[in-house]
Amino acid sequence: MKFREVIPLKQSLDFFLTLPGSKSITNRAFLCAALAKGKSGLYGALESDDTVVMLKALRQLKIKSYTSTVLSTGELRNGIGIEGCGGRFEKGDFMFDLHNAGTATRFLTAVMAIREGTTTITGDRRMQERPIKDLVEGLRQIGVQVEYLNKTGYPPLKIIRTKDYGPAYRTGRLRTKLAVQMKGDKSSQYFSALLMLGPLLPKPLKIEVIGELVSKPYIDTTIEVMKAFGVKVKNNNYRSFEIKPQTYKACDYWIEGDASASSYWISMAYLHDGKVGFSNLLTPSLSKKLVHKENLALNSVKTEKLNKKSIQGDERYGFILKNLKNLNSKLEIDMEDMPDVAMTLACTVPFIKGQIKITGLSTLRIKETDRLAALEKELGKIGVKVKTTNDTLRTEGWIGQSSLQGKGKVLINTYNDHRMAMCFAVVGTKIPGIRIENPGCTDKTYPEFWEDLERMYLSKPIKLGNKNLVLTGMRCSGKTRHGKKIAKLLKRPFVDLDHETEKVAGLSINQIVEQKSWDHFRKLESRVCQEFADQSGLVIATGGGVVMDEENMKNLKKNGVNVFIFADPNVLAERVEKHSNTRPSLTGEGAISEIHDIWQERRDLYLRYADYVWDNTTGKVVGDSLERVFS
């Protein structure tokens, strides 16, 4: 899909899910396992663009990996076995195209210093715009020979090491220790790369931080993963780090869920007065109001397979939101330790009264895109006043629904940045008309994001009592298909209002329109609505245009619960073309080409009358969730 529209949520959520494994932890664990001697089992690993790139590079180096199912469970899925090389990679010349994978690029640039041969590291256009100079200068300080192949300070790079270490460590031969001094204000990944290289060097390594170190929790994550693989790092209060020559040891390691990914669901729960919980992430800082009951039930049996305590800083995001609830003036929030979720915060605070300044964001300038500039531009499209500096973002005032009146739809550019897509999905659950460009970019870290979003809409159980269930939505949204399933599940009669209208007329809808008119069809439709609205205990699938008549909806809602089934208009057009291109046109433009215009005309009406909103864009989630929704 080139674009995907996000539909506002009308109900609250009560969502419990398994997050994708942490990208940060997965790529660190992959590398540590590759450097260890023996076989490691990694469970809960993320399978996404960035981690596939890392695993592919390791396979190029003849590191064996395989699917491991012995210890894998339903909640800690994606077991991957890696047979490490004990720090002795395949010799020779290699070239790695690492796309836009920042962790893979920085980590492999450092670790390839121990490999005999020439290593060329490149990436896509954006990766070649992302600075790496500080890491290269750090490596050069311990004698590693690194050359820029294009623009100084940026990939592509060439790392050269000869058999006797040649120029690589000559400058350090007479020293008792190797030392690196590096600025701390650019990227913590540079430090993580050197930390993982340290145990493999022939002498102890000391890394000194110049200035203040940003994103300290990511350093903590690196140190904790290394510790699991038998390597110790001395952290001198983030002013310096010391690593002695050591051996990575193979182990079984469980990778916790991605705390950054949890921020989207936590924000949705916050904005919609709901609850959320995660099977593979410990979130002790969440407000009880936001915590799903199953999250509170995470016991030692479940968490023993994780790390007992989260090793990610972003898991504290819920604590940040707790403090915003009663904000009425100005607040400054330092997000230096969790810049990735600062983006989620930036897309949440526009719905909170007061002025909020988010600081500590300098690293966002050199990510997959210039994220500060992107946030400023895209939030501006929905009427949010945003001001940015080199490392801050400030929102001015508060946005209400009125800010979008008359706009109809807003295209959000993602700049091929996965976090831009997911952050603005949060916005889309509050504001109608948000269309996300290139939704597939979430594959970088969260391939199942859109399916999980659809599950979120279905997370709130529906209690009908004796009321009718009324399904509204556009043609081919799935009203009839799922209505029949629900009726069978609940042992209720199923009513298709279009079919009932055809029975009354003794004609098909096509014939009614051709021989009479659309107005005549709508009058018949209203009579049928009234007839079934007066009954109870039914599952009713309405025609797509029933919402155009206020009296119809008043009648249906008097004794009914209305579920609006949404699907992206582009998907609807594909379904109509494939399955249902037999209905007469409403506008004379053809049933397929008119779908977008009809959607713009009806969207606000569907939302106005809906008690619940479901998203059936993929067509994969709704059917599998019905038994739980109506249990």
First to last CA, the chain: 33
CA 2 to chain centroid, in Å, comes to 17
Place of tokens 């492999």: 108
Count of C-beta atoms within a 10 Å radius of residue 62: 12
- Residue 600: CB atoms within 10 A of its CB come to 13
What φ, ψ does residue 306 adopt, rounded to 5°? Answer: -95, -145
Q: How many CB atoms lie within 10 A of CB 485?
A: 17
- Residue 114 CA to residue 85 CA, distance in Å, equals 12
374/188 Cα distance (integer angstroms): 22
Q: Quick check: 251 and 68 in contact, CB under 8 A?
A: no
In whole angstroms, what is the distance from residue 253 CA to residue 40 CA? 7
Number of neighbours of residue 362 by Cβ within 10 angstroms: 19
In DSSP terms, 435 is beta-bridged to: 5, 411
Question: What does the alpha-carbon distance between residue 423 and residue 267 come to, in Å, rounded to a whole number?
Answer: 9
Length of the chain, in residues: 631
Residues annotated as catalytic (active site), given as ranges:
340
Sign of the C-alpha dihedral computed for residues 189, 195, 196 and 201 taken in this order: positive
Amino acid at 393: L
What phi and psi, each to the nearest 5 degrees, are found at residue 80?
-125, 125
Q: Quote the strand ranges of 149-223, DSSP E.
A: 157-161, 178-183, 205-210
Look up residue 15 and give its two tokens.
């969502």
d(CA 23, CA 1): 24
Structure tokens at 179: 């030392």
Based on DSSP, count helices (H) and strands (E) in the chain, helices before strands. 23, 26
Closest Cα to residue 158, out of 172, 146, 170?
146
Distance in angstroms (rounded) separating the CA atoms of residues 268 and 277: 12
Place of tokens 């012995």: 70
Q: Which of 17, 25, 20 is nearest to 255 (CA)?
A: 25
